[in-house]
Amino acid sequence: MRAAYILFPLRFVCVLGNCVDNKPLEKGLRVGPSVTRHTKKDQSLTVYSAYQVANDCIMYDLPPSIKITTPPSNGVASVVQVRDHPAYPKTSHLYKCNERMIPMTAVKYQPNPGFTGTDHLGLQTNFTGSLRSPDKTEIAVEVTP
């Protein structure tokens, strides 16, 4: 069974070096090694999610595991299990899978009370059954008043 590996921070995508920030509905495309997310003071958000779906739209084994390799200095990040719809682009042969709810692994971020500025965290994503090396992603979270 061949699997499609997907990483997505909500509302961000980097494809072939063209980076676009804060675009909704593009969470199903592979991202680059660094991501910038935005939130307001005292507001939490999901900064990153990962999932695996086989060509038959069935979840591939288990959701990927995510490890926080560099914790944020000015907030708290946590890895959680969620269920959501994948978001493959219309051009993908897996677009039909967007109708299904599947298990995913996500990273939630909560800034420290009153903090504004930029915080950073590092992640490592390991895909189930994959022989390739883990994906590493650096996330910058810009917290505004």
- Beta bridge pairs of residue 101: none
Kindly report, residue by residue over 62-83, the tens digit of the pLDDT. 788 999 999 999 999 999 999 9
Handedness of CA 6, 29, 103, 134 (dihedral sign): positive
Q: How far apart are CA 34 and CA 92, in angstroms?
A: 23
Kindly report, residue by residue over 83-126, the tens digit of the pLDDT. 988 878 899 888 898 998 988 899 999 999 999 999 999 999 98
pTM (2 d.p.): 0.74
The values of phi and psi at residue 39, to 5°, are -150, 170
Label residue 55 by pLDDT band (50, 70, 90).
Answer: confident
Q: Determine the 3-state secondary structure of 30 from DSSP.
A: coil
Give the rounded distance of the alpha carbon of 7 from its chain centre.
Answer: 5
E strands, the chain, in order: 3-8, 12-15, 18-21, 34-40, 45-54, 65-70, 75-84, 102-111, 117-126, 135-144
- Number of CB atoms found within 10 A of residue 89's CB: 14
Q: How far apart are CA 55 and CA 27, in angstroms?
A: 18
Q: Which domains can be identified in the chain, with CATH numbers?
A: 3-144 (2.60.40)
8 A C-beta contact, residue 137 and residue 68: no
